[in-house]
Amino acid sequence: MSNGSTPPASRRRARTFRPVPTALAVLAALGCAGCGAFGGGTASEGGSGPDRPAAAGQHTPKAGPDDGTAHKDDTAGKDGSRERGTAAGGGPLKGKVVVIDPGHNPTNRDHTTEIARQVDVGNARKECDTTGTSTDAGYAEADFTLDVARRARTLLRKEGVRVVFTQDGDKPYGPCVDERAEIGNTAHADAAISIHADGAGAGNRGFHVIRPGAVHAGGADTRKITGPSRDLADHIVGRFVAATGSAPANYINDGKGLDTRTDLGGLNLSRVPKVFLECGNMRDAQDAAHLTDPAWRQKAAAGIAEGLTGFLRR
């Protein structure tokens, strides 16, 4: 994932791996948190392991006919800014608002001074943003996150959900992590999710969901959202397993697929239920094969959308 902080030393040490639960075991442990899926279906603001900047020449995939980029409207934020959202249809979840935060930005690498600027995340100061990581072959995390986010947006719109993006490849860099949180707050989102891929070492594989810990410092106060964010995390884990068949990360929290952190500005500063999803590890060959496969990315988008809609229907 990569969004700007050094992981705790314990995360950088060699780990003793334990057996990873099977998909069925995880679903059973979570009570399946709604196992249906849509048909057809690093060190940073979230990950572990050092950043690997996106390779020069990598570009954001162009919008396809069903990637959710059509039918956009603009909604004014409280501060007068304009944030792009998609007009919702008349589905069963009409009136619900979801903010999707595609991690990083494909052109962050061209604005290293700007993204290195320190911002306040309540209990610390962190970089505005980072470049994100990439696969060994150079497929950039920022390209991956945008593609999956757009696919998820299409699925959510079919349910009537209004979707707001923090960025859609339309900003020169960023936005900064504090701004990403504020977009969700300003939209009064019913749920928010930040999509990433990790940059840990080879052999570390699988996905995990990060939920906010208790933070009450400076401008951060997560006390009202920790409970619903945990519920959201459970829904995402259950549906992501069911949709993708992927196992929870074998290097985070004993293979449970869940982690809690208090060092991520995107979570600390959120006033709406929010989680981060690390869809897999770009540095591991097995995970990279999935992350670079459009068919798998569609499954990932289905897992994300189904997890969000399950949470919204609760």
Selected residue with higher pLDDT from 18 and 256: 256
Give 23-32 pLDDT, tens digit per residue.
445 555 554 5
What is residue 45's predicted lDDT score, i.e. its pLDDT? 75
What is residue 22's predicted lDDT score, i.e. its pLDDT? 43
Q: Say yes or no to pLDDT of 250 above 80.
A: yes
Lowest mean pLDDT among 2-16, 143-157, 159-173, 205-219: 2-16
Give 104-139 pLDDT, tens digit per residue.
999 999 999 999 999 999 999 999 999 999 999 999
Give 159-191 pLDDT, tens digit per residue.
999 999 999 999 999 999 999 999 999 999 999
Extract the tokens encoding 137: 């072959």
Catalytic annotation present for 278: yes
Give 191-249 pLDDT, tens digit per residue.
999 999 999 999 999 999 999 999 999 999 999 999 999 999 999 999 999 999 999 99
CB-facing half-sphere around the CA of 210: CA atoms within 13 A:
26
Percent of the chain exceeding pLDDT 90 equals: 71
Q: Are 248 and 21 in contact (CB under 8 A)?
A: yes
Mean pLDDT of 84-111: 89
Mean pLDDT of 251-257: 95
Q: Which residues contact 189 (CB under 8 A, 6 or more apart)?
A: 97, 98, 99, 164, 272
- Crossing angle of helices 294-313 and 141-158, in 10° steps, is 50
From the list 179, 182, 278, 306, the catalytic residue is 278
Mean pLDDT of 306-314: 97
Please report, for the chain, how many H helices and E strands are present, in that order: 9, 12
Selected residue with higher pLDDT from 186 and 12: 186
| Residue 266 identity (one-letter amino acid) | G
Global pTM?
Answer: 0.81
Question: DSSP letters of 253-266?
Answer: GGGTSEEEES--HH
CATH of domain 19-60+67-313: 3.40.630.40
Cα distance between residue 279 and residue 240, in whole Å = 9
